Structure 1
Amino acid sequence: MRSGKLCGLAVVVALAATACGGGGGTDTGKDTGASGRGGSGFPVQIADCKGARTTFSSAPRKIVTSNAAALEMLLRLGAGDRVIGTGFPPGKGTLPGDLGARAQKVPVLGEHLIPKEKLLGSGADLYIDTFASMNAMGGAGDAPTPEEFGAAGIKHIYLASTACAPTAAKPQRDLSSVEEDIKRLGAVTGTSERADQLVAGMRAKVAAVRKAVGDLPRDRRPTYFFFDYDAGTKQPVAVCRKQVANAVINQAGARNVFDGCDGDFTPVSWEDVVSKDPDWIQLGVRNRGDAAATEAAYDQAEEFLKGFPATKGLTAVRKGHFLRIGSERTTIAGVGNADTVEQIARTVHPTRFKAAR
C-alpha cells in the first residue's frame, strides 16, 4: 500500500498549530495530561496541514481505523475497547501475544479498503486513516467527503507520520513523527499518560542503540537497501528519505541507499540498486498470517536475489547479508519501529553490541 499525494492531518493539541512535516522535530502541541475518558485535558483541537481545525470536546467512544497501524496504537494506548471496526486487519501473528488476541476480536469492515457506505453507516464518531491514499478507495467507491463525514457525525483524522510523508518539508531521520502520532492519539482519546509511557519506552530503546553504535558519520555507516518484495520484482520500489523506514534505518546506524530520493516511496530500476551495491538487504515481506507462509516468502525473496542476474553479484547477496524483518514494523508507524531499530542495529553492528556488554 502506498501513501497518496494528499497531505493528511498533522494533529496538534489545544491551540498549538503545526505544519505537515516529517521527522526531526519535537511535538509542538500542548501536553494535556489527559487520562481515561473523562473531561480532563479537553477540549483537544486537531489541525490539518492547511490549518483547518477540528475540536474534540470529549474522547471519542466509537472508533474505526483504516488499517492495523492505527488499531495497534489504540490497543497499546488502552483505547482498544472503543474500536468498533477496521480495514486491512492485522494478520494472525502480526501483533504479539495478548495484543494480537485483542486485535483479532475487532470487527473487520473491509479486508482491504472499507467501502464508503459501510464506513458512513458504522456508527463511528472518529475515523483514523493511516494513509492519505485512503481518499482514493478504488473499487470500494469514492471516499466520503468532509460533508458526508460531518452528516454521519464522524470526525476524520490521519496518522501524520505516514499520511503527510509525501509532502513533508523534512526527511524522516528519527522517530519523532511517530512519537507525535502516539501522543496526539493519546490526547484525542484521553490516554495521554499511557502515550507518554509508550514514547518513553521507545526513546529508551533507541537511546540504548545509539549508545552501543555511537555517533557514526554517514560515510562510515553500512549501506542498506529495503527490498520491498511484495511490491514486485520486475521493478523495485525504494523507500525514500521521507518514509518512516528511512528514520528506522538511520537510527539503527545504517545508511539507506535511497536516502537521496524525495517523497516516501518511488519506483527505481535494478540498475539503480546495482549501482548502490548495498552492504545489507532487508527482505521486506508482509506478514502472511501464518508463520510458515511468512518464512516461505522470506525464502522466496532471498532466492530471487541470489538467482537474478542483476543482483546475484551484489555485496550483500554474496555475503548473505540479509535481514528478515517484516515490512509492517519498518514502513508503517508504530511502537514496534523502535524494536526494528534495535534488530537492525544488532545485525549490522554486532561487535559494537558485544563491546557494550
Structure 2
Amino acid sequence: MRLLALFLVLATTACGATVAQDTSATDPVTVRNCGQDVTYDRVPGKVVTNDTGIAELMFALGLADRMAGYVIGGGQTADLATSPFKADWERVPKLGEKITKEVVQGAGADLVFAGWNYGFSESTGFTPDSLEELGIPTYQLTEACRNGVGKQRGIMPPLEALYEDLRNLGKVFRVSDRAERLITGYQAQVAAAEQLGAGRPKPKVFLYDSGLDQPFTAGRNAAPQDVIGKAGGVNVFGDLDDSWTTVGWETVVQRNPDVILINDYADGDANTPEQKRAFLESYAPLAAVPAVRDKRFFVLPYAALVESPRNPAAIEAFAKFLAG
C-alpha cells in the first residue's frame, strides 16, 4: 500500500532571474487574450497580480522588478514554502489577501493580472471593465477565461493556456526570447514524463480540492486535466467543460477512481492534506472506491494545480508516482 506522498514540486527554470528587457520600446503591442484583441501602449512597470500561480508566471519570465506587488489568500501561503521562486516572493511586496480597487490604486498599478474567480468577480465589482473605467489595463489568465456558457471557464487545453499566456506576456514585456525558452523546456519536460506512462494502463484519477458536503474538483479546462493526463492517468471529470467546479459525492463513487490527487489548499473544514485524506478514508460512501480501499493518494501544492510554471514539474512528479 502506498502512503500519502507530498511532493514539493520545483520548476526546472532558474529562480529569481532578472531578464534583460527592452523597456524603452514605445510601440503599442496587441495580443489575443480571452478571445479579444487587447493593446498595451507601453511596457507595464507596476503590475499587481492575484494568486500564487499568476505571480509565478511573472517570476518565471524574470519580471519581478516590473511588479508593484501581489495579492494571495490565506489558503495559498503554504505555496511559498514549496516555491522555486522564494527570492522573488521575498522582494516583491504582499499587498493583501483580497484584491480590490483600493488595493491596486494604492499600489499605483499600471496592469492587473488576474482571472475570473482568480480575483475578477462581478459579485465584488472587481472586473476588467471596472478597472478600465479607472484607466488601469488588465490581463486575464487564460485558464480562467469565460467560455461563453454561463460562468464556466476555460477555452483551450490547460498546457496550451500556459504557453499562450507566456507568449503573450513575453510580447507585452518584450521578453519573447525568454518565454520561448521556457516553453521549449516545459514541452521537453512534459514529453519525458509522458514516456514514463507509455504502454501502461491508465488509472482513473479524482482531483480533490476541497468540500465535505460536495467536492470541488477540476474539469477538462483546469490544469489538473493535463497534470493527470500527461502523467498517464484519466481525469474522472474530464468530460466537464469547465475549469474548477462542484460535483456530487455520488458521482465520484460512480466514477470509481483508482487514485485521488489531493490539492494542498486550505479551504473549508479540512484544510491540510492529512485532514483531507482522513475525511476521504472516513467517508462511508467512498469505502469501496479503489483509491480509498488501496490507499492510493498523492498530494501536490495548489500552485502546481492551477495554471503556473509548476505544471510541467507536477506532471513529472505525478507520472513517477503512477509508474512506481
> What TM-score, normalized to structure 1?
0.75
* Rounded Cα–Cα distance in structure 2 between residues aligned with 1:198 and 1:338: 11
- CA pair 48-347 structure 1, distance change in 2 beyond 3 A: closer
Shift of the alpha carbon at 1:110?
A: 2.2
Q: Does residue 1:306 correspond to 2:290, yes or no?
A: no
Deviations 1:32-82 (A, max 9, x none): xx951335695310344453x332243111111122222111111111012
In the alignment, what sits opposite 1:102?
88
* Rounded Cα–Cα distance in structure 1 between residues aligned with 2:128 and 2:248: 37
Shift of the alpha carbon at 1:225?
A: 0.6
Q: Does residue 1:316 correspond to 2:316, yes or no?
A: no
For 2:321, give the aligned amino acid: T
Deviations 1:271-314 (A, max 9, x none): 111111111111222279xxxxx9x8222111111111111221
Shift of the alpha carbon at 1:164?
A: 4.1
Counterpart mapping for 1:138-149 below 5 A: 138=123, 141-143=124-126, 146=129, 149=131
Q: Does residue 1:195 correspond to 2:141, yes or no?
A: no
In the alignment, what sits opposite 1:75?
59
CA contact (8 A) 2:52 2:303 kept: no
In the alignment, what sits opposite 1:335?
309
* Rounded Cα–Cα distance in structure 1 between residues aligned with 2:252 and 2:127: 39
Higher relative contact order (CA 8 A, sep 6+): 2
Deviations 1:232-255 (A, max 9, x none): 211112311122211211111100
Shift of the alpha carbon at 1:193?
A: 1.5
- CA pair 85-234 structure 1, distance change in 2 beyond 3 A: same
Count of residue pairs brought into register by the alignment: 298
Q: Determine which of 97, 104, 116 is the counterpart of 1:131.
A: 116
* Rounded Cα–Cα distance in structure 2 between residues aligned with 1:311 and 1:276: 11
Query: Bigger CA drift: 81-90 or 182-191?
Result: 81-90
Q: Determine which of 239, 259, 267 is the counterpart of 1:260.
A: 239
For 2:126, give the aligned amino acid: A
* Rounded Cα–Cα distance in structure 1 between residues aligned with 2:188 and 2:225: 19
Q: Does residue 1:116 correspond to 2:101, yes or no?
A: yes
Q: Does residue 1:223 correspond to 2:204, yes or no?
A: yes
Shift of the alpha carbon at 1:168?
A: 4.1
- CA pair 116-58 structure 1, distance change in 2 beyond 3 A: closer
- CA pair 102-196 structure 1, distance change in 2 beyond 3 A: same
* Rounded Cα–Cα distance in structure 2 between residues aligned with 1:41 and 1:225: 48
Counterpart mapping for 1:241-256 below 5 A: 241-256=220-235
In the alignment, what sits opposite 1:161?
143
- CA pair 144-347 structure 1, distance change in 2 beyond 3 A: closer
> What TM-score, normalized to structure 2?
0.82
For 1:301, give the aligned amino acid: K
User: Which consecutive unaligned segments of at least 5 residues does structure 2 have?
Assistant: 1-18
For 1:161, give the aligned amino acid: E
Q: Does residue 1:45 correspond to 2:34, yes or no?
A: no
- CA pair 150-223 structure 1, distance change in 2 beyond 3 A: closer
User: Which consecutive unaligned segments of at least 5 residues does structure 1 have?
Assistant: 1-33, 289-293, 351-357
In the alignment, what sits opposite 1:237?
216
* Rounded Cα–Cα distance in structure 2 between residues aligned with 1:101 and 1:137: 34
For 2:54, give the aligned amino acid: A
- CA pair 162-127 structure 1, distance change in 2 beyond 3 A: same
* Rounded Cα–Cα distance in structure 1 between residues aligned with 2:280 and 2:298: 13
CA contact (8 A) 2:207 2:263 kept: yes
In the alignment, what sits opposite 1:297?
272
- CA pair 186-85 structure 1, distance change in 2 beyond 3 A: same
CA contact (8 A) 2:263 2:300 kept: yes
Root mean square deviation, CA, Å: 2.7
Deviations 1:190-211 (A, max 9, x none): 2112111211221111111122
* Rounded Cα–Cα distance in structure 1 between residues aligned with 2:83 and 2:154: 35
For 1:272, give the aligned amino acid: T
Counterpart mapping for 1:48-67 below 5 A: 48-51=33-36, 53-67=37-51
Greater strand proportion: 2
